[in-house]
Amino acid sequence: MGKELTPAEVLALLPQQDPFRFVDEIVEIDEEHVVALQCFRPDADFYRGHFPGNPVTPGVLLIEAMAQAGVVAQGIWLVTRDGGPEAAEKLVTVFTDADVEFSGIVPPGAQVRIEGHKEFFRRNKLRSRVQMTLEDGKVVCSGTLSGMGVPR
């Protein structure tokens, strides 16, 4: 039947790839939560225009990083636990909604910690409470994100 994947196995199954993968490492993952790390490289092209002379990581990319860890990675773990690795390969995760509040900025070169906690998972839909913090523990954004696995 299913298989509990390691954090490295889940990371390998994430469909997003460079330059649009915003999860460097999955530190912990189980039925209830996921913890991931991402370092936003200071040489990333988007900093040239956001904002010249005072660059900050765009909020939409912070939401994307939260979704990749808290919805996609967690969803892969849950689907494969129930149906095996081939179950995850038959689905693609689509982002369905987000309610996120920003309380800080992520400067170029900063490493963030992303923690997602499952609220519910049923019929391949996952809703998670996700929080992003800087290395000093300061929360930069948090909220609820949802996505669902649909057949490829």
Q: Active-site positions?
A: 50
Q: Measure the CA–CA gap between 111 and 84, rounded to whole angstroms.
A: 32
| CA atoms of 37 and 5, how far apart (whole Å) | 18
CA atoms within 13 A on the CB side of 152: 8
